[in-house]
Structure 1
Amino acid sequence: MDVRIRPAVHADAAPLLDLKRLLDQESRFMLLEPDERTASVEEVASELHAMSAAPNCTVLVAEPAGKLVGYVEANGGRFRRNRVPADVVIGVAAAASGGVGSALMAGLVRWTGGAGLRRLELTVMTHNRRARRLYKGAGFVEEGR
């Protein structure tokens, strides 16, 4: 699949929220269950704006043919002691599996180089083998279970 990876912009708020809601329905591996996501489009837009203003935060989206099918976000801390690591969340629609996750992770790693981060951290369920392979392929190292 030919996919474009790019930073999310204000206009992505509604499609990104739709994507996150779809992922809540499709996957038991995402944090929120289907009825738990209560954010509005305005709240997502505000979050995107705040993240774009922080040098150690980003949201990248995967967009083949003009439709968002995946995203990855990195959230670095606000304080001196937690500015250089960032927590990572990634989601890819089931219909778009097969390379989109790898493209998102590669985009995130490229972004990290200019963001002053020295560490990316994520949590994954041990039985989510596909995600664990993706993260290992992107250079992540398992530190604990």
Structure 2
Amino acid sequence: MVQRKPFPLLAERPVALEGVILDFHWDPERLYALSIPVREVSVSALAWHLALPFWSAEGRPFQISPAEVAAEPSAHPEQWRRTLAADLRYPLDAYGGAEDQLTILDGVHRLLKAVVEGRSTLRVRVLEVGDFDAIAVPGER
């Protein structure tokens, strides 16, 4: 197992995100470079993510949920802009086992956009826990 750099905002992570946001720092470029099968997943199976405070507001992390942004877009213009700009041609990245247990690593803005557009499924690349070393930012030894 690779020595992993801890997640940089671990101390600020709210209880609601424990077990959702990984406890190590991972590199998006490493994630995107992985060859992972894509499968169709129902939006409803991923919708639980929308109630969690993933997103920053006024420079502070973990302040607002995607559901709050959808309910009042004008109060959260940056996150709403990012949602509308999200490109659904790219699959989400998640980890876990069964469809109803998937946890999104990358793509919550795409999930919200899919909900706004009324889509019933999304394409998702599903990592196995064994893939984590491949995306981890190495820590100090």
TM-score normalised to structure 1 length:
0.28
TM-score normalised to structure 2 length:
0.28
Larger RCO: Structure 1 or Structure 2 (Cα < 8 Å, ≥ 6 residues apart)? 2
